[in-house]
A and B are shown apart, each in its own frame.
Chain A
Amino acid sequence: MSTTTPEITDENPVTPEAPAAPNRGPARRRGERGLLGSLASHGILTVASLIALFPIAWLLFLSLGPDKDDYLHPGGIWSKMTFDNYSFVLQHTNFFDWLKSSLIVSLGTTVVGVLVAATTGYAVSRMRFPGYKKLMWVLLVTQMFPIAVLIVPMYQILSDLQLIDTYLGLIVVYCSTAVPYSAWLLKGYFDTIPFEIDEAGRVDGLSPFGTFTRLILPLAKPGLAVAAFYNFITAFGEVAFASTFMLDDSKYTFAVGLQSFVSEHDAQRNLMAATAVLVAIPVSAFFYLVQKNLVAGLTAGGTKG
């Protein structure tokens, strides 16, 4: 997108895509660029930041308008800005029920996913056994299951087991994706821990399980945390299964509850915006706290073979 910026300042065409600007003159050092070049970079980044920010800022702004049709004439909001929507949402809707459901389901998925996946991640990172390739292939393929593959049979099975509209049912469904993904992610992290540590443990007389629990697990805490965050965020934001399997509106997760503000008959958009903001703030704060690790973990899982 940035190649179109005209930037031919000296005899060298300086495109912002070049990580280090060419500089024949002795005055400029490597990695520094012309004034125009850095202005263009700042310009593009500012525009991109505004685009990234605007829809969320707009949601925040609309949530302050007291009337449900305020989104059509936003100019009027300035004069009647109020926090009424928030107090209404907190006091008169199922907000806290939804919060409870979301937390139970997401945390349940996180714990089960990481616990079940940890040993497997280690095994596929360190050991070669007959069936290794098949297992890796299954782990990969399950990650690309479209929800459409599992949703119908899961619905039938869960209704046979009377698990529709229960937290346990939803956790079970989420684990079908969380477990293989966590195993995959953890394998990537375990791969970055040197093999010499295992060998040292072995020389000192630890069994493979001992090596895993006493040496590798403590070292892998950041990796475990990343897998946990990722499971949490994925389960928290899941829409399709939650919309289908949760029927009672006190058991909705946020992803379903938010939809319930807009029905065919009535659209309480102001309340919806307020709820959306209330959900978004803690989740994004959490995301920002962990994002450094998350990114490092994802790329470690993604780039090391």
Chain B
Amino acid sequence: MTVAIDRATGKRRGDAPRPGLGQRLKHGFQKHWYAYAMIAPVVVVLGVLVIYPLVYGLYLTLTDANSLNTARTIGVNHIDATYKFIGLDNYKDILFGPTSYDRFWSHFIWTIVWTALCVALHYGIGLGLALLLNQKLRGRTFYRLVLILPWAVPTFVTVFGWRFMLADGGIINSFLHTLHLPAPDWLEDTFWQRFAAIMVNTWCGVPFMMVSLLGGLQSIDASLYEAAEMDGANAWQRFRYVTLPGLRSVSSTVVLLGVIWTFNQFAVIFLLFGSTAPDAQILVTWAYYLGFGQQPRDFAQSAAYGILLLAILIVFTSFYRRWLNRNEQQLAI
């Protein structure tokens, strides 16, 4: 059986002329049935738990379902669903309908800004700290352990810690007051809400980047630095021409993960503001608010937001991969 080692031997398949479809299927099944048996559990689970809900969700976006017309049981009475098919009206309404700027585009822009700023801060601070930790330094392990604390404690716990600190009259404002600086309304004013959200999310996300990049730094061959130094490269040049290229594959992966996670970040904004800050909601939390935070619950529009979000992410990921491929970088996926 060569199935399991064809990767190791790198044997090319498909040199022979392609036989007919039926025969190919039969042959393929005989040759690969181990593989199919092994992936079967995941395929079944994904089919039932992801694909089916996704298709069902897609169908819901084409209807006007909300909590008043879906099937529900109140006490012993069962009420049948009465929502109807309305085609693409939900998407039309979200993207181009009246007040679509307030409902979609403003959140869209804020989501892009949020993702870009957070990932840039995560990466920049994470890389800086990783570089500091990658040198011979007394207490390096201690620093490392303290610095991953924001990752170790669950987000839902730390966000409440931040809420106490940011509250009116909380420690941060008292501190600013003693410095005679203006004390902003962190949890009320839109700009400061956004500022606070980015701050908290940055605090939560840096450790992961730092640790991944530290791993990447440690895997760079030290002799490269020696060679660069022999050639007279100064510190900046060594950073630019040895460190950054050496980090490329780790960086492209963690940046992609960072973008996806930040774009989908729910807990920070939801727990920091609840439903009190309509303007600071990114698309994910806004979609949640439409579907579950208001009465009546607008299931159809919420699901449509979900589909739009997924579409944005898929488009972004495809372009990102294409861009990486053009630069001949290998994404680790």
Give the B-binding residues of A (Cβ under 8 A).
Answer: 1-3, 12-22, 30-33, 38, 41-42, 44-46, 48-49, 51-53, 55-56, 58-59, 62, 71-72, 74, 116-117, 119-120, 122-124, 126-130, 135-136, 138-157, 159-160, 172-173, 175-176, 179-180, 183-184, 195, 198-199, 202, 207-209, 211-212, 233, 236-237, 239-240, 243-244, 254-255, 258-259, 269, 272-273, 276, 279-280, 283-284, 287-288, 291, 295-296, 298-299, 302-305
Q: Are B147 and A33 interface neighbours, CB within 8 A? A: no
| A152 with B46, Cβ < 8 A, contacts A19-B131, A127-B35, A237-B267 known | no
Interface size class of B (residues with CB under 8 A): 35 or more
C-alpha gap A159/B53 in the complex (Å): 13
User: Which residues of A have CB within 8 Å of B137?
Assistant: 38, 41-42, 45
Contact residues, B220-279 vs A (CB, 8 A) = 225-226, 229, 234-236, 238-239, 243, 249-250, 253-254, 257, 260, 263-264, 266-267, 270-271
Q: Chain B interface secondary structure, helix, strand, loop or mixed?
A: helix
User: Which residues of B have CB within 8 Å of A284?
Assistant: 149, 152-153
User: Which residues of A have CB within 8 Å of B305?
Assistant: 148
B43 interfacial by beta-carbon distance below 8 Å: yes
Which residue from chain B places its CB closest to the CB of A264 in the assembled complex? Answer: B274
Give the A-binding residues of B (Cβ under 8 A).
Answer: 1, 3-8, 13, 28, 31-32, 34-39, 41-43, 45-46, 49-50, 52-54, 56-57, 60, 70-72, 124-125, 128-129, 131-139, 143, 145-158, 160-162, 164-165, 167, 169-171, 203, 207, 211-212, 215-217, 225-226, 229, 234-236, 238-239, 243, 249-250, 253-254, 257, 260, 263-264, 266-267, 270-271, 283-284, 287-288, 291-292, 299, 302-303, 305-307, 309-310, 313-314, 317, 330-333
| A152 with B42, Cβ < 8 A, contacts A15-B235, A17-B239 known | no
Q: Are B243 and A239 interface neighbours, CB within 8 A? A: no
User: Which residues of B have CB within 8 Å of A141?
Assistant: 314, 317
CB B224 to nearest CB in A, in angstroms, measures 11
Q: Are A299 and B216 interface neighbours, CB within 8 A? A: yes
Q: Are B149 and A179 interface neighbours, CB within 8 A? A: no
| A140 with B333, Cβ < 8 A, contacts A20-B225, A147-B266, A183-B42 known | yes
Q: Are A138 and B60 interface neighbours, CB within 8 A? A: no
| A152 with B303, Cβ < 8 A, contacts A127-B4, A276-B157 known | yes
| A276 with B160, Cβ < 8 A, contacts A1-B124, A41-B135 known | yes
Q: Are B8 and A258 interface neighbours, CB within 8 A? A: no
User: Which residues of A have CB within 8 Å of B155?
Assistant: 237, 239
